[in-house]
Structure 1
Amino acid sequence: MTRPNIRPFARPLTGAVVALGALAFASSAPAVTQYRQPIGNDMSKCTSDGGPAVMVTVDGIKSSTGRIRVQSYRANASEWLAKGRWLNRIEVPARVGSMRFCMPVLAAGNYGIAVRHDVNGNGGTDLRTDGGAMSNNPSINLFNLGKPNFRKTAISVGNEVTSIRVQMRYM
Structure 2
Amino acid sequence: MSKLSGLVGLVAAALLSGAPAAAAPLASHVGGCGASAVPAMLVQVTGFKDRHGMLRIQSYGGDRQSFFEKGAYIDRIDVPVPASGPARVCVPVGRTGEYAVSVRHDMDGDRKTGRADGGGMSGNPHVSVGDLVFKRKPPAERVVISVGRGVTTVPVILNYMQGMSFRPISGR
* Global fold match (TM > 0.5): yes
Q: Cα distance, 1:41 vs. partner?
A: 4.8
Within the candidate set 128, 149, 155, 1:159 is matched to 149
* TM-score, length-scaled by structure 2: 0.70
> Mapping of 1:56-95 within 5 angstroms?
56-74=43-61, 76-95=63-82
Any conservation in 2 of the 1:68–1:118 contact (CA below 8 Å)? yes
Higher mean C-alpha displacement, 108-117 vs 71-80 = 71-80
CA distance in structure 1 between the aligned counterparts of 2:147 and 2:80, rounded to whole angstroms: 27
Q: Cα distance, 1:143 vs. partner?
A: 2.3
**Residue matched to 2:96:** 108
CA distance in structure 2 between the aligned counterparts of 1:64 and 1:90, rounded to whole angstroms: 18
Distance 1:75 1:149, change over 3 A: farther
Q: Cα distance, 1:74 vs. partner?
A: 0.9
Which of structure 1's runs of 4+ aligned residues deviate more than 4 A? none
Counterpart residue identity of residue 47, structure 2: G
**Residue matched to 2:10:** none
Any conservation in 2 of the 1:45–1:51 contact (CA below 8 Å)? no
Question: Residues 64-112 of structure 1: CA distance to partner in whole angstroms, max 9, x if unpaired?
Answer: 2221011100153442111111111110112354211101002100000
Aligned alpha-carbon RMSD (Å) = 2.2
Within the candidate set 34, 41, 48, 1:47 is matched to 34
CA distance in structure 2 between the aligned counterparts of 1:125 and 1:70, rounded to whole angstroms: 14
* TM-score, length-scaled by structure 1: 0.70
Q: Cα distance, 1:134 vs. partner?
A: 0.5
Structure 1: tracts of 5 or more residues without a match = 1-36
CA distance in structure 2 between the aligned counterparts of 1:119 and 1:47, rounded to whole angstroms: 29
Counterpart residue identity of residue 140, structure 1: V
Higher mean C-alpha displacement, 107-116 vs 95-104 = 95-104
Any conservation in 2 of the 1:75–1:154 contact (CA below 8 Å)? no
Any conservation in 1 of the 2:40–2:91 contact (CA below 8 Å)? yes
Point out the structure with max Rg over C-alpha: 1
